[in-house]
Chain A
Amino acid sequence: MGLVARPDHKVVSYAPESQEGWVTSRLDFLVNWARAGSLWPMPFGTACCAIEFMATAASRFDLSRFGMERMSFSPRQADVLICAGRVPFKLAPVIRRIWQQMPQPKWCISMGACASSGGMFDNYAVVQGIDTIIPVDVYVPGCPPRPEGLIYGIMMLQKKVMNERMSDQSIRNEMEPDPSSKLYIPPPVIDELSEPFGNSVHQTRSGL
Chain B
Amino acid sequence: MTDPATVPQTLGPAPNAPVPKTPTNIPHRGGPANASAARIKEKFPSAFVRAEVVWGETTVFVRPDAVFDVIQYLHDDPNEQYAYLSDVTCVEYRDLEQPLEVVWHLRSITWRAFIRIKAQLTKGARLSVKSVWPIYKGADWLERECYDMFGVEFEGHPDLRRILMWEQYKEGYPLRKDFPLRGRFSRAEQLRQALAANPEARYSMEELKIADAFEDLPSDMRKRLLGGEETGE
Binding site for A on B (CB under 8 A): 94, 164-166, 171, 174, 177-184, 186-192, 194-200, 232
Chain B proximity of A185: nearest CB distance (Å): 10
Chain A interface size, under 10 / 10 to 19 / 20 to 34 / 35 or more: 20 to 34
Interface contacts beyond A124-B181, A201-B186, A203-B182: sample of 4 additional A-B pairs, CB < 8 Å, sorted by A: A94-B199, A198-B186, A200-B184, A208-B177
Known contacts A124-B171, A206-B179: A90-B186 contact under CB 8 Å: no
Taken together as a complex, chains A and B put the C-alpha atoms of A97 and B195 apart, in Å, by 10
Interchain CB contact (< 8 A) of B181 among A133, A190, A203? A203
Q: Is the CB of A200 within 8 A of B183?
A: yes
Interchain CB contact (< 8 A) of B186 among A89, A123, A200, A207? A200
Which parts of A52-99 form the interface with B (CB within 8 Å)? 89-90, 92-94, 96-97
Known contacts A89-B191, A94-B199, A187-B192: A124-B186 contact under CB 8 Å: no
Prevailing SS type, chain B contact patch: loop
Q: Is the CB of A125 within 8 A of B192?
A: no
Q: Is the CB of A206 within 8 A of B181?
A: yes
Taken together as a complex, chains A and B put the C-alpha atoms of A89 and B171 apart, in Å, by 13
Prevailing SS type, chain A contact patch: loop
Q: Is the CB of A96 within 8 A of B195?
A: yes
Known contacts A123-B181, A133-B191: A93-B186 contact under CB 8 Å: no
Chain A proximity of B150: nearest CB distance (Å): 14
Q: Is the CB of A198 within 8 A of B187?
A: yes
B188's nearest neighbour on chain A, judged by CB, is A187
Q: Is the CB of A206 within 8 A of B180?
A: yes
Give 6 closest A-B pairs by Cβ, nearest first. A200-B182, A187-B188, A124-B183, A89-B194, A191-B186, A92-B194
Q: Is the CB of B191 within 8 A of A127?
A: yes
A164 lies within 8 A of chain B by Cβ? no
Q: Is the CB of A188 within 8 A of B181?
A: no
A199 lies within 8 A of chain B by Cβ? yes
A6 lies within 8 A of chain B by Cβ? no
Taken together as a complex, chains A and B put the C-alpha atoms of A188 and B186 apart, in Å, by 8
A180 lies within 8 A of chain B by Cβ? no
Interchain CB contact (< 8 A) of B199 among A93, A191, A204, A208? A93
Taken together as a complex, chains A and B put the C-alpha atoms of A89 and B190 apart, in Å, by 8
Q: Is the CB of B195 within 8 A of A93?
A: yes
Q: Is the CB of A200 within 8 A of B187?
A: yes
20 contacts between A and B (CB under 8 A): A89-B166, A92-B191, A93-B194, A93-B195, A94-B199, A122-B182, A123-B182, A123-B183, A124-B190, A127-B191, A132-B187, A133-B191, A187-B192, A188-B188, A190-B188, A198-B187, A199-B187, A200-B184, A206-B180, A208-B178
Q: Is the CB of A207 within 8 A of B94?
A: yes
A172 lies within 8 A of chain B by Cβ? no
Taken together as a complex, chains A and B put the C-alpha atoms of A38 and B131 apart, in Å, by 55
* Cβ contacts under 8 Å, A93 to chain B: 194-199, 232
Taken together as a complex, chains A and B put the C-alpha atoms of A94 and B203 apart, in Å, by 14
Which parts of A177-195 form the interface with B (CB within 8 Å)? 187-188, 190-191, 194
* Cβ contacts under 8 Å, B199 to chain A: 93-94, 97
Q: Is the CB of B94 within 8 A of A90?
A: no
Known contacts A203-B180, A203-B182: A90-B187 contact under CB 8 Å: no
Which parts of A130-165 form the interface with B (CB within 8 Å)? 132-133
